[in-house]
């Protein structure tokens, strides 16, 4: 292992704790505090990955987790940024996207064939003939993969948390630290978010003065102030994924996704150092100045032995000084500018006798013959923007440090709707206007000089606190003059080479000539150019390539960069795993009051809306037999079913009957107190949407049931209509307040007689469709005499707290009468025998009352019910289908299933909606939609069952069982 | 996520709300033409600009009206529905003959409005075609 530089270099390292890990099967050692990338750099491993298209060797580029060069596989996790991944003992890290070894990737041959892979080659090469595409697709997926997903990997634990604050500051650099302190001083609750392990931003690695102590001193002071402030919550190693409306920001730290709502936002995300574009600018050993400085200062790693620095600003001078201090020989500084103003770092460099070549550019990095890195750099004088003189100087080196200027990291501001313009003089973007509640500070808004950045941060923190409604006091002082360096004219950073390999986008291997070719083909809009060339579509999302691509486009189309525009930066602005987005699974389930009694009785539960209901009771192996036994017992003796999930709505007020009359299709004005009546609801389009029964408890009070899954919508619709009608009525949803049991069967009256003493349940005293209030086993109950399953039966609605007691009392009292609980499946069979439809099963999103043969439920003389006009218009137009009963012999016929099609002469005329074998009738019975002229009982219909076979059925009159209803009216 | 300022519950995340489309007059179902009715049920204006919309806070089933700019997605004002719907709405007795109910053949025309409906719908309150549109009494700010 290479010796680390002495302290203070290696700020993040804990040198007392060595950490062993492996990369590509070889064992290495780093320190606690290292990332995988820094530890590999310390071990002289320069190749971290292979590029996406040409499989070129790639190494450290930004060392800030912002480029795809460092994507590695860490254990089962693919596509981890090696320069973000904290080193941990025993980590097993491998490279991605190669065939052979990472050092010797056989697929690097694609680089030699580059002329056959022009921009957009997918669109050109593989689409003809069409049948070949699946073959190509399979091959391309194999070649152009990133990491591999281990489907056997254990599920990770991810969760979510909500956060609220007065001021959120994104970015913990000088501006962000100052903003956080200022806002907190005004009394704001502040959250400060930074993606790095330590606060400081560019103060951690930058060098803004000759002596090189100012950044560290400033960082210590500002960060210390923030960390000591109780009002500031600091979240490091936290990524902000984007900006959403009304300052709603998702943050990711570790395995947790935070959803933060802030009153005011300060974006202090600084700048992204931009690369230079020249031949072989992607070789391992070519890195951004900030990356080299991070290696030295954060990790104590010497980035090379002999360096050339190529820069478009003073930033490279600071880096050159840092390299010298770290013991790296600096062969030359190549300054793209001809008119660089004098600066402290420039003078310091001159004092250390480093030759500076002004007005020159790196024309080509020459690769090593045998290694993956660079051997030397060829430097040429710039003749005009992007064009170099033919004569070149050559410098031997193993490190080429580049700095192409700074671009604001303005993704959050763009998403928030900031007006952003391009300053063509400085060749960078600037923010013109910000939306309310969003503030920006520091480098991202072009603040210059350390004092200027800090003052700008204090200004933004002050504004944000005031926006959050706090008394922020007087505006903080502006920066003293003289600190900001004179702004230099921006320089053109792109130098295409006749032999190509000048990369604009490393993720996607997009070269200058690819962009130029695509523009020549007509893809001359930024968004088209991006999609056709895939420039900016890789994991780094154009952070280092978009600006240069726009420059190329602007020049090719003779427009300014501002006129050319920029591509949209969408959320998430940094990669996020599916686990973070999915979080823990959270599916609320509702239990009825009797839920645990069902479980004790061995019920198999099934979902019904959010509820769980017993499907049947007993061994799943005997499912079919149990369902039939339960149904038979209802017909022969007595059964009980938990109907607590049915919706219950209380409609009260002087206009209750009028309201019912408007919401439902039947007539309710003259419904007698103590009686129930069927309710059918249609929507505005005349489609059947719900049903139930309405019990008139009192002149001014109806208790209405609704379907399990429909009640919430029914309730909402009722409130919506009455918000417009202003009837004197009050509706409440009492579903959860009540438990319900339906007791049905010839013996049920005998059971109830033993439990009721204040309700006359004789046939005369309590007729069919009657409603009574009284007690069952001492429990206050509402009695509804209804016949959904076609037997003598009562629905008992009791307070939910008493549901279990009622259930127990009924089973106990019914023991002598052969009582047993029945589940939803038995109930479905029983009601099918009676031809009762289930809304949502036998109806769909288009079913009208006439189609469902429910014209009997339409009051003929009402002026209004919801959807009345549509119902009448449909009735006039005539039917296109009908819901009818059908039957088939019980043996020797294949039973159709729900949704099997009814077919006549090759045309679909309908489908099966319910079907079951009825042991009671020894026939298969069902409901199906058929053509209007197939509705007469006795008509033969053909149903296509599984496998395409056709079976015959006969349309039958409904109900199948007890047509006179004698049993339910006992 | 956007914030919806609910007149009842205060500012809440917009995922707690349901939008039920623009506040528009319901045509009188017994007097309008088929085309008017079909347009009301099936067609939306989809205006670009400030629209008044029905919103419901799902957790409390509270309906209110919001004025929203559909171009900028700005919510300009929210207020209780009774600022617009302040008067009781009633429906005129049937004006159309009873249509046939297929598949049965047409029967005799429907009888005149029944006593029940007539008694419950005071003639004086019967809204006219242009009164029925639920015209705003007041717009919120």
* pLDDT tens by residue, A387-442: 999 888 999 999 999 999 988 899 999 999 988 777 766 666 677 789 899 999 99
Chain B positions touching A883 (Cβ under 8 A) are none
pLDDT at A606: 96
Answer yes or no: are the C-beta atoms of A65 and A80 closer than 8 Å.
no
* pLDDT at res. A2: 64
The Cα–Cα gap between A250 and A161 comes to 10
**Pairwise CA distance, residues A862 & A660, whole Å:** 12
CA distance A285 to A47: 9
Q: What pLDDT is recorded for position A27?
A: 96
Q: Contact, A772 vs A794, CB < 8 A?
A: no
Segment A217-247, tens digit of pLDDT: 999 999 999 999 999 999 999 999 999 999 9
Among A102, A77, A71, residue whose Cα is nearest residue A91 = A77
Q: Would you state the pLDDT for residue A615?
A: 98
Residue A807 main-chain phi, psi, to 5 deg:
-55, -45
How far lies A496's CA from each of A17, A145, A388, A501, in Å? 46, 28, 10, 8
Residue by residue, what is the 3-state secondary structure of A329-394? EEEEEEECCCCCCCCHHHHHHHHCCCCEEECEEEEEEEECCCCCCEEEEEEEEEEECCEEEEEEEE
- Asked if A937 and A957 count as a contact pair (C-beta separation under 8 A), the reply is yes
Closest partner residue to A870 among B41, B62, B87, by Cβ? Answer: B41
Give domain A502-576's CATH architecture. Orthogonal Bundle (1.10)
Q: Which residues contact A964 (CB under 8 A, 6 or more apart)?
A: none
Which of left, alpha, beta for A809 (phi over 0: left; psi -120 to 50: alpha)? Answer: alpha
Which structural domains are found in chain B, ordered by start? Answer: 3-125 (3.30.2270.10)
Amino acid A481: pLDDT: 56
Give B86's contacts in chain A (Cβ within 8 Å): 726
| Interchain CB contact of A164 with B (< 8 Å) | no
Length of chain A: 970
Mean pLDDT by 10 residues, chain A (970 residues): 86 96 95 97 94 89 92 91 95 84 73 66 67 74 70 86 97 97 97 96 92 90 96 97 96 96 97 95 96 97 97 94 97 93 89 94 94 94 90 93 92 90 68 89 88 94 97 82 52 92 93 94 94 90 92 92 86 90 85 97 95 97 96 96 97 97 95 96 96 96 96 96 96 96 96 94 93 96 92 96 97 96 96 94 95 93 92 94 95 93 96 94 96 96 95 95 85
Tell me what pLDDT residue A208 has: 85
Nearest to A715 among B61, B88, B89 (CB): B61
Q: Enumerate residues 6+ apart whose C-beta is below 8 A from A386.
A: A492, A494, A495, A496, A555
In angstroms, the CA A119 to CA A503 distance is: 13
Region B133-138 average pLDDT: 32
- Measuring CA to CA, how many Å separate A101 from each of A46, A77, A107, A143, A162? 14, 19, 10, 14, 45
Whether the predicted pLDDT of B129 surpasses 60: no
Candidates A129, A928, A730; CA nearest to B61 is A730
Q: Look at domain A159-272+407-467 and name its CATH class.
A: alpha beta
Q: Residue A136 carries which DSSP code?
A: H
CA A798, A804, A806, A811 torsion-angle sign:
positive
Chain A residues closer than 8 Å to B121 by CB: 863
| Confidence (pLDDT) at B94 | 57
Q: What is the per-residue pLDDT for A102?
A: 77
Q: Where are the alpha helices (DSSP H) in A69-213?
A: 121-125, 133-143, 174-185
- ipTM of the complex, rounded to two decimals: 0.84
Q: What is the reported pLDDT for A763?
A: 92
Which candidate, A266, A282, A352, places its Cα nearest to that of A506?
Answer: A282
CATH class of A1-153: alpha beta
User: Any residues with CB less than 8 A from the CB of B95 and at least 6 apart, and which?
Assistant: B30, B31
Q: Could you tell me whether strands A647-652 and A248-253 are parallel, antiparallel, or unpaired per DSSP bridges?
A: unpaired
CATH 3.50.50.60 occupies which residues in chain A?
159-272+407-467, 275-404
Dist CA A918 CA A631 (whole Å):
9
Which architecture characterizes domain A275-404 according to CATH?
3-Layer(bba) Sandwich (3.50)
Q: Where in chain A is the domain with CATH 1.10.10?
A: 502-576
Contacts of B62 in chain A (CB under 8 A): 719
Q: For residues A342 and A942, what is the distance between their CA atoms, to the nearest angstrom?
A: 93
A790 phi and psi angles, rounded to 5 deg: 85, 15
Using an 8 Å Cβ cutoff, are A319 and A289 in contact? yes
Select the residue of A858, A869, A932 nearest B37 (Cβ to Cβ). A869
Cβ–Cβ gap B116/A244 under 8 Å: no
In sequence order, what E strands does A592-682 have? 603-608, 611-617, 638-642, 647-652, 676-682
Mutate to test the interface with A, among B102, B125, B131, B137 (most CBs of A within 10 A): B102
Identify all chain A residues contacting B113, using CB atoms and an 8 Å cutoff: 861, 863
Report the C-alpha gap between A543 and A931 in whole angstroms. 62
Phi first, then psi, for residue A208 (nearest 5°) are -110, 0
**d(CA A644, nearest CA chain B) in Å:** 21
Taking CA A477 as the corner, what is the angle to CA A475 and CA A483, rounded to the nearest 5 degrees?
Answer: 150
Please tell me which of the candidates A715, A725, A863 has its beta carbon nearest to residue B121: A863
Contacts of A244 (CB under 8 A, 6+ apart): A250, A415, A571, B1
What residues of B are in contact with residue A868 (Cβ under 8 Å)? 29-30
Rounding to the nearest 10 degrees, give the CA dihedral for residues A252, A256, A257, A262: -80
Find, among A497, A495, A301, the residue nearest to A399 by Cα.
A301
Q: What percent of the residues of chain B are helix, what percent strand, and what percent coil, each to the nearest 5?
A: 15, 25, 55
CA atoms within 13 A on the CB side of B5: 11
If phi over 0 gives left and psi between -120 and 50 gives alpha, with beta otherwise, what is residue A90?
Answer: left
Contact B87 A725 (CB under 8 A): no
Q: How far is A423 from chain B (nearest CA, A)?
A: 27
Q: What is the pLDDT of residue A910?
A: 96
Q: For residue A733, how far is the Cα from the chain centroid? A: 33
Residue in B61, B100, B114 closest to A861 by CB: B114
How far apart (Å, rounded) are the C-alpha atoms in residues A40 and A72? 12
Contacts of B66 in chain A (CB under 8 A): none
φ/ψ region of A223 (left if φ > 0, alpha if ψ in -120 to 50, else beta) reads alpha
3-state SS assignment for residue A507 = coil
> Using H for helix, E for strand and C for coil, what is the string for A657-687?
HHHHHHHCCCCCCCCCCCEEEEEEEECCCCC
Chain segment B104-119, per-residue pLDDT in tens: 433 333 333 333 333 3
Sign of CA dihedral A901, A906, A908, A910: negative
Q: Return d(Cα A394, Cα A659) in angstroms, integer.
A: 91
């Amino acid at each position: 292992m290479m010796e680390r530089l002495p302290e203070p270099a290696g700020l993040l390292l804990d040198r007392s704790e060595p950490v062993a890990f492996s990369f590509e099967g070889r064992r290495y050692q780093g320190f606690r505090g290292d990332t995988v990338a820094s530890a590999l750099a310390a071990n002289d491993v320069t190749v971290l990955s292979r590029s996406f298209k040409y499989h070129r060797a790639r190494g450290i580029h930004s060392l800030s987790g912002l480029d795809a060069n460092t994507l590695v596989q860490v254990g089962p996790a693919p596509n981890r940024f090696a320069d973000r991944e904290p080193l941990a003992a025993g980590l097993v890290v491998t490279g991605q996207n190669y065939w052979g070894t990472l050092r010797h990737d056989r697929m690097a041959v694609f680089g030699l064939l580059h002329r056959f892979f022009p921009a957009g080659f997918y669109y050109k090469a593989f689409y003809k003939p069409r049948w070949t595409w699946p073959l190509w697709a399979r091959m391309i997926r194999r070649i152009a993969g990133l990491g591999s997903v281990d489907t056997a990997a254990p599920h990770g634990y991810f969760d979510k948390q909500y956060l609220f604050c007065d001021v959120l500051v994104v970015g913990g650099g000088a501006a962000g630290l100052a903003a956080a302190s200022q806002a907190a001083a005004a009394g704001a609750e502040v959250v400060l978010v930074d993606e790095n392990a330590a606060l400081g931003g560019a103060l951690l690695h930058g060098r803004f003065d000759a002596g090189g102590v100012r950044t560290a001193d400033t960082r210590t002071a500002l960060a210390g102030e923030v960390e000591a402030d109780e009002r500031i919550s600091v979240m490091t190693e936290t990524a902000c994924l984007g900006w959403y409306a009304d300052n709603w920001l998702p943050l990711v730290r570790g395995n947790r996704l935070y959803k933060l709502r802030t009153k005011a936002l300060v974006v202090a995300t600084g700048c992204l150092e931009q690369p230079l574009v020249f031949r072989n600018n992607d070789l391992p050993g070519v890195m951004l100045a900030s990356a080299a400085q991070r290696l030295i200062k954060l990790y104590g790693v010497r980035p090379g032995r002999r360096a050339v620095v190529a820069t478009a600003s003073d930033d490279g001078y600071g880096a050159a000084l840092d390299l010298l201090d770290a013991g790296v020989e600096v062969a030359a500084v190549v300054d793209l500018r001809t008119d660089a103003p004098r600066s402290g770092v420039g003078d310091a460099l001159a004092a250390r006798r480093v030759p500076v070549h002004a007005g020159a550019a790196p024309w080509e990095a020459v690769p090593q013959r045998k290694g993956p890195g660079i051997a030397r750099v060829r430097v040429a004088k710039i003749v005009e923007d992007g064009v170099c003189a033919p004569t070149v100087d050559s410098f031997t080196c193993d490190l080429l440090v580049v700095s192409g200027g700074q671009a604001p990291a303005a993704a959050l501001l763009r998403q928030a709707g900031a007006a952003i313009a391009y300053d063509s003089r400085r060749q960078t973007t600037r923010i013109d206007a910000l939306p309310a509640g969003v503030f920006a500070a520091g480098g991202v808004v072009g603040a210059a000089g350390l004092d200027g950045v800090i003052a700008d941060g204090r200004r933004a923190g002050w504004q944000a606190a005031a926006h959050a409604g706090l008394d922020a006091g007087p505006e903080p002082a502006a920066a003293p003059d003289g600190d900001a360096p004179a702004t230099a004219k921006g320089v053109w950073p792109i130098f295409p080479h006749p032999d190509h390999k000048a990369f604009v986008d490393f993720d996607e291997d997009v070269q200058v000539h690819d962009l130029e070719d695509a523009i020549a083909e007509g893809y001359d809009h930024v968004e088209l150019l991006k999609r056709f060339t895939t420039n900016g579509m890789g994991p780094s999302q154009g952070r280092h390539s978009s600006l240069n691509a726009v420059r190329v486009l602007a020049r090719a189309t003779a427009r300014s960069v501002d006129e050319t525009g920029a591509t949209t930066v969408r959320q998430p602005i940094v990669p996020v795993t599916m686990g973070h987005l999915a979080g823990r699974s959270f599916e609320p389930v509702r239990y009825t009051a009797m839920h645990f009694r069902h479980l004790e009785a061995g019920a198999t539960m099934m979902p019904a809306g959010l509820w769980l209901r017993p499907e049947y009771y007993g061994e799943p192996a005997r499912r079919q037999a149990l369902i039939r036994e339960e149904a038979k017992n209802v017909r022969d003796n007595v059964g009980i079913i938990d109907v607590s999930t049915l919706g219950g709505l209380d409609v009260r007020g002087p206009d209750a009957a009028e309201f019912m009359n408007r919401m439902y299709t039947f007539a309710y004005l003259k419904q007698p107190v103590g009686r129930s009546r069927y309710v059918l609801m249609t929507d505005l389009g005349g489609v059947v949407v719900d049903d139930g029964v309405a019990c008139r408890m009192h002149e001014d009070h109806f208790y209405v049931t609704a379907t399990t899954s429909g009640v919430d919508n029914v309730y909402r619709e009722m409130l919506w209509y009455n918000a417009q009608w202003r009837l004197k009525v009050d509706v409440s949803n009492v579903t959860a307040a009540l438990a319900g049991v339906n007791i049905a069967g010839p013996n049920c009256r005998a059971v109830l007689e033993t439990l009721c003493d204040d309700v006359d349940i004789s046939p005369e005293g309590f007729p069919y469709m009657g409603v009574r209030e009284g007690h069952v086993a001492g429990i206050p109950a509402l009695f509804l005499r209804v016949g959904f399953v076609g037997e003598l039966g009562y629905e008992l609605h009791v307070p939910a707290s008493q549901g279990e007691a009622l259930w127990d009392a009924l089973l106990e009292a019914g023991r002598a009468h052969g009582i047993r609980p029945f589940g939803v499946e038995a109930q479905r069979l029983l009601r099918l025998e009676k031809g009762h439809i289930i809304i949502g099963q036998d109806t769909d999103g288009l079913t009208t009352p006439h189609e469902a043969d429910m014209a009997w439920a339409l009051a003929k003389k009402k002026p209004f019910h919801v959807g009345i006009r549509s119902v009448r218009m449909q009735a006039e137009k005539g039917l296109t289908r009908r819901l009818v009963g059908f039957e088939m012999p019980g043996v020797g016929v294949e039973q159709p299933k729900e949704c099997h099609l009814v077919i006549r002469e090759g045309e679909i005329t309908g489908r099966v909606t319910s079907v079951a074998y009825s042991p009671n009738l020894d026939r298969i019975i069902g409901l199906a939609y058929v053509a209007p002229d197939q509705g007469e009982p006795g008509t033969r219909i053909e149903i296509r069952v599984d496998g395409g076979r056709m079976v015959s059925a006969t349309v039958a009159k409904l109900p199948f069982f007890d047509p006179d209803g004698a049993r339910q009216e006992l | 996520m956007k914030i919806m300022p609910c007149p009842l519950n205060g500012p809440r995340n917009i995922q707690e709300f349901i939008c039920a489309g623009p506040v528009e007059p319901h045509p009188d179902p017994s007097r309008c033409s088929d085309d008017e009715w079909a347009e009301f049920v099936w067609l939306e204006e989809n205006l670009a600009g400030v629209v008044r919309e029905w919103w419901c806070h799902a957790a409390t089933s509270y309906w209110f009206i919001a004025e929203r700019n559909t171009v900028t997605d700005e919510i300009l004002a929210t207020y209780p529905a009774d600022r617009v719907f302040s008067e009781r709405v009633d429906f005129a007795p049937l004006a159309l003959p009873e249509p046939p109910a297929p598949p049965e053949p047409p029967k005799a025309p429907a009888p005149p409005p029944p006593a029940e409906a007539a008694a419950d719908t005071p003639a004086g309150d019967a809204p006219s075609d242009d009164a029925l549109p639920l015209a705003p009494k007041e717009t919120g700010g």
